[in-house]
Amino acid sequence: MKYTVILEPQDEGGYTVRCLELPGAISQGETKEEALANIKEAIGLVIEVLSQDLTVRSNAEILKVELADVC
């Protein structure tokens, strides 16, 4: 699955990166590559937490849907 991220250079150095589809997925890194690797991990952790939260609910289902590119 693909996610849209915003990679922003910071005045003090390094990069901040956040995922548009998952507002809780935010990370940083000293280089672009490190920041992108870190956001992948953050996205995975956010999805894991959301999945666990949904499975606690009695009637919830976890489904995958595919979206067309909009950009």
Q: In this structure, which topology does domain 5-56 adopt according to CATH? A: Double Stranded RNA Binding Domain (3.30.160)
Predicted confidence (pLDDT) per residue in 6-42, tens digit? 999 999 999 999 999 999 999 999 999 999 999 999 9
Q: pLDDT-derived band of residue 67, with 50, 70 and 90 as boundaries?
A: low
Predicted confidence at residue 7, as pLDDT, reads 97
Query: Taking the domains of the chain in order of start, what are their residue ranges?
Result: 5-56
DSSP character string of 5-57: EEEEE-TTSSEEEEESS-TT-EEEESSHHHHHHHHHHHHHHHHHHHHHHHHHS
This model's pTM is above 0.85:
no
